[in-house]
Amino acid sequence: MKLGTTLGAALVASVSWASMAAAQTELSLWYHGAGNEAESTALQLIIDDFNASQSDYTVVVESFPQESYNDSVVAAALAGNLPDILDVDGPVMPNWAWAGYLQPLDINEGVIENFLDGPKGYWGGELYSIGFWDAAIAMMSRQSTLDALGLRTPTIDSPWTGDEFMAALDAAKASGDYDFALDLGMPWTGEWYPYAFSPFLQSFGGDIVDRSSYATAEGALNGDAAMAFGNWWQSLFADGYAPGTSQDPADRDTGFIDGKYAFSWNGNWAALGALEAHDDVLFLPAPDFGNGSYIGAASWQFGVAATSENAEGASAFIEFALQDNYLANFSNVTGLIPATSTAAAMTDNYAEGGALEVFFGLSEAQALVRPVTPGYVVFAKVFEKALADIANGADVADTLDAAADEINADIEANSGYGH
């Protein structure tokens, strides 16, 4: 009798476990962070907590190398093999939404009310993706440099004007203490060019495309403001202020630390390394060339695949992950800027008095997302080529006209990209 009872209980227990396991739906998640142990650990913590918090879903992650992640996703989309949840680079999101890879997120938008603008991925008036963090760029310099050159320290509320910035470069150049006054990171090809340099164009009053309609680049990329930007851009190299496209990549990594450059246009990911080398490093806001100070915004974000049959669970996971403690933990292990001020207050670097606090302020005050259009993935390459050509001495007007024509042709070939 006793044996029978025990066996019966064991049977009931196994059936219960089996049915619980059967009831749990697996949610596949693709992430771009393969090879980044810290990010993988932070993400796994969220997944473990989510899996333990409910019994309907189990999230299983597959990590991909960032460099080839987009190609893997596009190939999987073609083969009909997308996961439930995937992360997407902010400026690429509209393209994936337009191409039918993503569906709108079904989360309580009240949760993201206090998020920075950069991590919020809207397309066509709907939220498609949301990020845990953002990245920001600053003009790195040293207090000792500003003092030696007799320059005022710009602030977010009072950035350098274009004239002040050029005066700073002149002073650095005239001092003879540096190989070049300014390091722009010209060897970092690819997305760096539109991310880092299009804010200068926008500060001049131009843009990569006319954002009022997204139907043309005419006037935005080759109008008077863009021409002024192009001439200024070319002068940086022609007049010897900055190394051009042939800059040694090693100098990009170590030149500022080694004192070869007075100013370096670089991201928050390089900030801690600079601070380790020199304790008086400053992170200055972007100069204002007449139409405001801007830096790029939008980093990696999470979305739900259009083909997911478990969109409810996928959105539930994403909403679960947006808690401040997770955002703060991600920031602590990656060094990136948490998406909310409340999470920032919980971090080592971005809390009040933290070494990188200024970057949160920069993201809040100066961040401007790149053109929110499916065509951006093409426009970005056109823009990159135009800027490299101008830096190498190409005629500014001809180059910008050709770039605008190429973008317009692409918009037309894609029937306006759904705008």
Partner 1 sequence: MAAINQDNRGLRLIVRYAVLTLIAIIFIFPVLFMVMSSFKPNLQLLRDTSSLRAFLPVGDISLDNYYDAFRRAPIGLFVFNSVLVTGVTVLLSLFFCSLAAFSFVYLNWKGRDLALTIIIATLIIPFETIAIPLLLFVSKLPWIGLEGIEIGWLDSYHVQIIPWIADGLTVFLFVQYFKDLPGELIEACRVEGASWWQIYVKVVMPLSGPVIATAAILKFLVMYNQYLWPLIVVQQETYRPVLVGLQYFFQLNITWGEIMAYLTIVTIPVLAIYLVLQRAFIASIASTGVKG
- Quote the least distance from Cβ 71 to partner 1, whole Å: 6
Residue closer to partner 1 (CB basis): 63 or 203: 63
Which residue in 109, 248, 309, 312 binds partner 1 (CB under 8 A)?
A: 248
- Residues 10 and 42 sit within 8 Å (Cβ to Cβ): no
Q: Is 395 in the site for partner 1 (CB under 8 A)?
A: no
Q: Is 258 in the site for partner 1 (CB under 8 A)?
A: yes
Q: Is 307 in the site for partner 1 (CB under 8 A)?
A: no
Residue closer to partner 1 (CB basis): 10 or 75: 75
For tokens 């040293």, what's the residue? 142
Residue closer to partner 1 (CB basis): 81 or 158: 81
Residue closer to partner 1 (CB basis): 67 or 395: 67
- Considering only residues 269 to 288 of the shown chain, the ones binding partner 1 according to CB under 8 A are 269-270, 273
d(CA 385, CA 388) in angstroms, rounded, equals: 5
Residue closer to partner 1 (CB basis): 22 or 79: 79
- Quote the least distance from Cβ 147 to partner 1, whole Å: 26
Q: Provide the CB-side half-sphere exposure for 71 (13 A, CA).
A: 4
Q: Is 76 in the site for partner 1 (CB under 8 A)?
A: yes
- Residues 303 and 102 sit within 8 Å (Cβ to Cβ): yes
- Quote the least distance from Cβ 151 to partner 1, whole Å: 28
The full DSSP string for 5-72 is: HHHHHHHHHHHHHHHHHHHPEEEEEEES-TT-HHHHHHHHHHHHHHHHH-SSEEEEEEE--HHHHHHH
Q: Which stretch binds partner 1 (CB under 8 A): 218-226, 265-273, 361-369, 402-410?
A: 265-273
Q: Is 290 in the site for partner 1 (CB under 8 A)?
A: no
- Quote the least distance from Cβ 38 to partner 1, whole Å: 10
Q: Is 267 in the site for partner 1 (CB under 8 A)?
A: yes
Residue closer to partner 1 (CB basis): 169 or 270: 270
- What three-state secondary structure class fits 294? coil
Q: Spell out a b/e string for 37-57, using b for 16 or more CB atoms within 10 Å of the CB, else e.
A: eebbebbeebbeebbeeeeeb
d(CA 297, CA 359) in angstroms, rounded, equals: 12
Please name the amino acid found at residue 328: A
- Considering only residues 35 to 74 of the shown chain, the ones binding partner 1 according to CB under 8 A are 35-37, 62-68, 71-72
The sign of the torsion formed by the CA atoms of 58, 60, 66, 72 equals negative
Residue closer to partner 1 (CB basis): 71 or 109: 71
The binding track of 5-34 with respect to partner 1, each residue x by CB under 8 A or -, is: -------------------------x---x
- Among the listed residues 135, 138, 238, the one whose alpha carbon sits nearest the alpha carbon of residue 185: 138
Q: Spell out a b/e string for 112-149, using b for 16 or more CB atoms within 10 Å of the CB, else e.
A: beebbebbbbbbeeebbbbbbbbbbbbbbbbeebbeeb
- Quote the least distance from Cβ 301 to partner 1, whole Å: 16
In residues, how long is the chain? 419
- Considering only residues 104 to 163 of the shown chain, the ones binding partner 1 according to CB under 8 A are none
Residue closer to partner 1 (CB basis): 4 or 80: 80
d(CA 312, CA 320) in angstroms, rounded, equals: 12
**Tokens read off for 126:** 């709907």
Q: Is 309 in the site for partner 1 (CB under 8 A)?
A: no
Residues that bind partner 1 (CB under 8 A): 30, 34-37, 62-68, 71-72, 75-76, 78-81, 248, 250, 253-254, 257-258, 267, 269-270, 273
